[in-house]
Amino acid sequence: MKIITRFAPSPTGNLHVGNIRAALHNWLWARKSGGQFLLRLDDTDLERSRPEYADAIKADLQWLGLHWNGEEKQSDRFALYEEKFERLKASGYVYPAYETSQELELRRKVLLGRGLPPVYDRSALHLTADQIATFEAEGRKPHWRFKLDHDQPIVWTDLIRGEQRFDPKLLSDPVIRRADGSWLYMLPSVIDDIDMGITHVLRGEDHVSNTATQIQMFTALGAPLPHFAHEALLTGSEGKLSKRLGSLGVAHFRENGLEPIAILALLARLGTSMPIEPFSDIQPLIDSFDFAHFGRAPARFDEAELAALNQKIVHLLPYQSVSERLPQGMDEAGWEAIRPNLETVAQAADWWRIVTGPIEAPELEEEDRAFLATAREILLEAPFDTAIWRTLTNMLKDRTGRKGKFLFLPLRRALTGLDHGPDMGQLLPLIGRDEAVKRLS
């Protein structure tokens, strides 16, 4: 069986970290199995869907490297939905209901007040022709519900949660179409999954009850069931569901200089038994993806953990992978020297200015002035090669008797304007003899 997964966001807003995680896991499973990963824009909500959001979703996925093998828009598929809807209506699987939203809400509150589950009572199935005529005369248009089969329990084996069992009598017949003719999520999603040949539906655990009702829709349409996997939802670092997670998206991550692979490396393993590791390549994440590693506990997302992981990954990145993002003139030697001090690649420009100058000259004690004058004399006479820092400090130690921070700190301050930074053994050859002599003057 060829594996086909899909990511189906609604273009009513930007992707957030939870969406990205779902897209990534679908992508990883497709790539591991040599299958296909499809992008479907669920834009049936014509009022709220925007082309700019659709463009942003695609741009975000491309920046993350989650390239897709095919693309569909639900707004292009209304004729197919209409055809399947008429088929279900003819076979008695859907029925019209005339309650207003206010009437339904009142019934719901009454049931809850009695301590009962707020399940729709199917009163629309018992309307007489006269009642329907009265509603129509009032100008009421029906919404449409899918009629669940109450005779058999709904059972499936979830790839993450194991066996799932629902009593359909405890579920409301889902509304699949509004009175204005517009579609809700449930039925079009099933029709698309069938038509697109989706073999695996991987999504958040908040869709488990949706899956229970959609399974009966697959059956009503005479289609085999895909495999379902429902992963635990993300929580914030404080350990509970966080509204902030809904605002964390690719734009936020890019503004903070994070690497796409850092985001992928964290989200790929969150909620699994696998360790979170600083990969600079996606292949190990593809190779290790396994539903058996997923747990049921909420997956905890921590921005501080992501930043720390990003720093580790930056320290692994070879020059060739970042050269186009580095400041002009910074070569591989410069990258190797500065890389260990970076949290993000963008910070390389700040450190490179220490090499190219100008720097802010530090205030010096009188004894340090004489010390640096000696250092300047040594730089002018010693061979300026890759070992110049060792040569300089050894000769200074011999001539001045200084050692430890009294030897190294005044030199670093004079040469860089800072008390800490990249390895001076790598940095000084990059600064060059003339500039170094100038800074010591």
- Residues near 440 by Cβ (< 8 Å), separated by ≥ 6? 372, 373, 375, 376, 379, 414, 415
DSSP assignment, residue 12? T
Q: Is 152 helix (H, G, I), strand (E, B) or coil?
A: coil
| Residue pair 54/311 in contact by the 8 Å Cβ criterion | no
C-alpha span between 111 and 170 (Å, rounded): 13
**Burial degree of 107 (CB within 10 A; 0-12, 13-18, 19+):** middle
Amino acid sitting at position 188:
P
Do residues 231 and 25 make contact, with C-beta atoms less than 8 angstroms apart? Answer: yes
Residue 265 · residue 274 · CB < 8 Å: no
The residue among 37, 75, 84, 40 whose CA lies nearest residue 187 is 84
- For 104, phi and psi rounded to 5 degrees? -65, -40
**Helix 186-195 vs helix 208-220: crossing angle, to nearest 10:** 60
SS3 at position 57: helix
Is 361 in contact with 413 (CB distance < 8 Å)?
no
Whether residue 358 is preceded by a cis peptide bond, meaning omega within 30 degrees of 0, is yes
Place of tokens 């300089």: 392
Strand 36-41 to strand 4-7: parallel, antiparallel, or no bridges (unpaired)?
Answer: parallel
For residue 112, how many other CB atoms are within 10 A of its CB? 11
* 243 labelled binding-site residue: yes
126 closest CA partner among 103, 98, 90: 98
Count of Cβ atoms closer than 10 Å to residue 172 Cβ: 18
For the chain, the residue count is: 441
- 71 membership: H or E segment, kind and range: strand 70-73
What is the spatial distance between Cα 231 and Cα 148, in angstroms, rounded to a whole number? 25
Task: List the binding residues for ATP.
Answer: 243
Residues flagged as binding site = 243
